[in-house]
Amino acid sequence: MKDVRGYSVYTLRKNEEAPIENIGVKLGRVCIENDIPIQELSKYFGVSRFNMYAWFYGDWNPHKKHHDKVQRIIETGKLDWDYDTDSDKNPSE
């Protein structure tokens, strides 16, 4: 298991044990590997951190309206604030 400082051991294990076929689990693996903070994801998708963790664990699936953004993160390994049209302004600006 990779040492990722931004995520707890619990989160790493839950994501690792979850079925990879789930789009939220795939998102979780990419975000963990690329150290994308859960708070940024939460803001990007306009959902709570609780929801983000539920996606990562395979407990819930992202709503279909989020699938394009999820897929883009999975493919690129980063948040693309220029691509985003739904969430608030990029917090790093």
Task: Give the Cα separation of 62 and 54 in Å (integer).
Answer: 9
The pLDDT-based confidence of 83 (bands split at 50, 70, 90) is low
pLDDT tens-place string over residues 5-50:
689 999 999 999 999 999 999 999 999 999 999 999 999 999 999 9
Task: Give the Cα separation of 2 and 92 in Å (integer).
Answer: 26
Residue 86 pLDDT: 57
| Contact (Cβ atoms closer than 8 angstroms) between residue 71 and residue 81 | no
Evaluate if pTM is beyond 0.85. Answer: no
Domain boundaries, the chain: 9-76
Task: Give the Cα separation of 49 and 40 in Å (integer).
Answer: 9
Amino acid letter, 65: K
